[in-house]
Amino acid sequence: ETGVTQTPRHLVMGMTNKKSLKCEQHLGHNAMYWYKQSAKKPLELMFVYSLEERVENNSVPSRFSPECPNSSHLFLHLHTLQPEDSALYLCASSPTHHNEKLFFGSGTQLSVL
């Protein structure tokens, strides 16, 4: 148990659907992250939030829309996804966004049909 909880664990959606991924951390951290992990590719940073403010957006397509209502919760809203977006989406947190070790959730395995 890492202190970071992601739901759902698995998600199957069609290209016209709208869904949301949820992440919650119980560690009192101020920074939260979304990463994408595709088969045979490195973990890719998508977004970084610090104290509910987005500090990094790594050229992620607008069909991925993050939301951070408070420092404990992070969402990733998905709409009109493509099959190549199928991947494991990992949430992480750290005490601050300055070079500290990350605590990862177990991820949401997303399949886009």
Give the residues lining the site for other proteins (CB under 8 A).
2, 4, 31, 40-45, 48, 50, 55-56, 58, 90, 97-99, 101-107
We find the least distance from the C-beta atom of residue 81 to other proteins, in angstroms, to be 22
Contact predicate 47/58, CB 8 Å: yes
Task: Say if residue 69 is preceded by a cis peptide, omega within 30 of 0.
Answer: no
Q: Which residue do the tokens 């886009």 mark?
A: 112
We find the least distance from the C-beta atom of residue 91 to other proteins, in angstroms, to be 9
Please say which residue, 32 or 112, places its beta carbon nearer to other proteins. 32
Please say which residue, 17 or 102, places its beta carbon nearer to other proteins. 102
C-alpha torsion sign, points 22, 26, 30, 32: negative
